[in-house]
Amino acid sequence: MTTIHDTLPSFIDRSQTETVLYRVAVSALTWRADAEPGYSIEDEQRWCLAPLQGVDPGLPIRVLVVDTILDPSRHRTQLVQALVALSDG
């Protein structure tokens, strides 16, 4: 018997998930809005999601990446769950 998980392709693999999470963690630990002129949270978000290599993670994950950088304690669990849902688990 096949399940819906068996019939849907995985969008990202585990190594991509781990790399995104690592980058979000680094960003959360080092983020300072006043660090450099021209430096933005959008730049940080793009860097964090770059390992997905062209896979569009969708707006909810993009928002969760930024939210997790700005408030890791509050949003990290949701981000992990959303990334795992995109991966092969």
Q: How far is 22 from 65, CA to CA, in rounded Å?
A: 11
Specify which residues 23 forms β-bridges with: none
Say if residues 24 and 49 touch (Cβ distance below 8 Å): no
pLDDT for 3 equals 40
Burial of 35 (0-12, 13-18, 19+ CB in 10 A): exposed
pLDDT of residue 55: 85
Q: What is the mean pLDDT of the chain?
A: 84
- Which of residues 69 and 4 earns the better pLDDT score? 69
DSSP 37-62: TT--HHHHHHHHHGGGTT----HHHH
Q: Is the pLDDT reported for residue 72 higher than 90?
A: yes
pLDDT above 90 for 49? yes
Confidence class for position 33, pLDDT limits 50, 70, 90? confident
